[in-house]
Amino acid sequence: MTAASDSKLSATRQQVLRATASGWVGSALEYYDFFIYATAAALIFPQLFFPSSDPTVAIVASLGTYGVGYAARPVGAFFLGHWGDTHGRRNLLIFTMLMMGLATACVGFLPTYSQIGIWAPIFLVILRLIQGFALGGELTGASTMVLENAPFGWRGYYGSYTLQGTQAGQVFAAAVFLPLLYILSTEGFNSWGWRIPFMLSLLLVVAGLIVRLRVAETPVFTREQERGDIPTAPIIEAFQTSWKDMLRVVGMAFSNVVPVVITVFGAAYAVQPAYGIGFSRSLYLWIPVVGNIVAVCVIPFAGRLSDKVGRRPMFCLGILGSSFLASCYLYAVSIHSAALAVVISLVGWGVIYQGYNAIFPSFFPELFPSRVRVCGMAIAQNIGIVITAFLPMIFAAIAPPGSANIPLTVGTLGFGFGLISVFSGWSAREPYRIRSEDLGKPDAVPVDKEEYERARTQDPFRTALAT
């Protein structure tokens, strides 16, 4: 091998690893923000930002602000998806990280309802809308960045690190919340301690920017620029050419019902005094933490397995099993069994759900051609997510404190959404053996299995260099 080829190989390796690190860090920030907001909305916001005369109304309203942020995601997907397909993946990711992190940090400086009245929830909703707008392009842009740099035969593996970042972000969030709950008195936590996790998001923004500023634009987008093949209206083109796959992704995104049931409604059900379960805040926070630590370990193996057996079987089995266990999780909470809740979290959330979680960062963008990849995935995924994001508020409304059969009511509805996701995933074409340049083409022919396995046994960075 010549010195020139050695240099190219080294540059290819660095670009793949930097793109993967960029996706990991951005996703960690996104879900750090997601988890601290979801946790605060369930644990403390009903008392701080809403009138305390009616506990049920305060719980529903607080969980509603969680959903409002997701309502802004489709809007962000339209604007930021267009930006990512016309101006590049790198520029998109730098912008979304700044907007998302700064909005989250500002939540930590908000005055409460007792201080400024109705303006407190109004400002909270505005910041949540800004955060949601940025989220509309963040995860899609990160997934696309990693996918378009990953070598053939390894897209599932490298793509999975984007979602490993989301689970790590939730662990980081809990690692901040838990010590505060142990160290501070209830009065101290309620008055100022809850603000610290939001303010610390600024540190993650700085770390993320350092990584993302060192990542080059993807080779796929660069080639399109050189050919003058950048679409002028990618959103229109996506609806014209890829609407069937957009509908599939909307349905597959209903799988978000699993974390909604466990980490959002489950938190309110377990700790809010009105429900009468009586889990301590610190105990409840440990349950998803343990599950996420397991998930961080499982995700790369699940991503690599999808490169061997395909995306569809892992996706469908992961959602089918985890959506069923989510209802079992609520039952464990209802009978005050922390031990059973932890076991179900470990199995359902930590392991089985990763059959979906580790796969979709490669599966979703693989369904779209590169010209409309960011906007096609972003719009479809965020429409599906916004529907499930309002489920905690709906759950609290149809299964309020004092009602009977709360686990059965909420669990059955959640499992129904999971089935829609399974059927949508199974209707999609299997993309794992399709070459990168043919992704999104309905008539693309998968590589022969023997040839595919030979490609996977080679140095993945040499494969990326060759293609």
Q: Is the pLDDT of residue 240 over 70?
A: yes
Q: Is the pLDDT of residue 335 over 90?
A: no
Q: Among 91, 109, 81, which Cα is nearest to 378's?
A: 81
Q: Is residue 467 part of a domain?
A: no
pLDDT band at 254 (very low <50, low <70, confident <90, very high): very high
Q: Is the pLDDT of residue 35 over 80?
A: no
Distances (CA, A) of 163 to 23, 236, 276, 341: 8, 29, 34, 23
461 token code pair: 């960075």
pLDDT band at 10 (very low <50, low <70, confident <90, very high): low
CATH number at residue 378: 1.20.1250.20
Range from 213-227, 228-242, 278-292, 293-307 carrying the lowest mean pLDDT? 278-292
Give pLDDT, residue 419. 95
Q: Among 129, 123, 130, which Cα is nearest to 108's?
A: 123
The arithmetic mean of pLDDT across residues 294-323, rounded, is 94
The arithmetic mean of pLDDT across residues 284-313, rounded, is 88
Q: DSSP letters of 389-435?
A: HTHHHHHHHHS-TT-S-HHHHHHHHHHHHHHHHHHHHHHSPP-TTS-
Give pLDDT, residue 31. 75
Distance of CA 403 to the CA centre of its chain: 31
Q: Is the pLDDT of residue 3 over 60?
A: no
The arithmetic mean of pLDDT across residues 363-372, rounded, is 94
Give pLDDT, residue 219. 86
CB 463 within 8 A of CB 455: yes
Q: Is residue 465 part of a domain?
A: no
Q: Is residue 181 part of a domain?
A: yes
pLDDT band at 259 (very low <50, low <70, confident <90, very high): confident
Indicate the residue type of 201. Answer: S
Give the count of domains, the chain. Answer: 1
Q: Is residue 3 part of a domain?
A: no
The arithmetic mean of pLDDT across residues 207-219, rounded, is 84
Q: Is the Cα torsion angle 285, 290, 291, 293 positive or negative in sign?
A: positive
What would the pLDDT profile of 36-88 be if each residue is shown by its tens digit? 777 777 667 767 776 665 666 666 666 666 667 777 888 999 999 999 899 88
Angle subtended by helix axes 55-87 and 89-107, to nearest 10: 160
**Domain of 385, in residue numbers:** 13-460
Give pLDDT, residue 214. 84
Give pLDDT, residue 205. 83
The arithmetic mean of pLDDT across residues 238-259, rounded, is 94
Give pLDDT, residue 66. 64
Q: Is residue 1 part of a domain?
A: no
Q: Is residue 262 part of a domain?
A: yes
Q: Is residue 336 part of a domain?
A: yes
Q: What is the mean pLDDT of the chain?
A: 84
Burial 256-290 (b: 16+ CB within 10 A, else e): bbbbbbbbbbbbbbbbbebbebebebebbbbbbbb
Q: Is residue 466 part of a domain?
A: no
What would the pLDDT profile of 392-421 be if each residue is shown by its tens digit? 778 888 888 878 888 888 989 999 999 999
Q: Is the pLDDT of residue 338 over 70?
A: yes
Mapped onto helix, strand or coil, the DSSP state of residue 369 is: coil
Give pLDDT, residue 45. 72
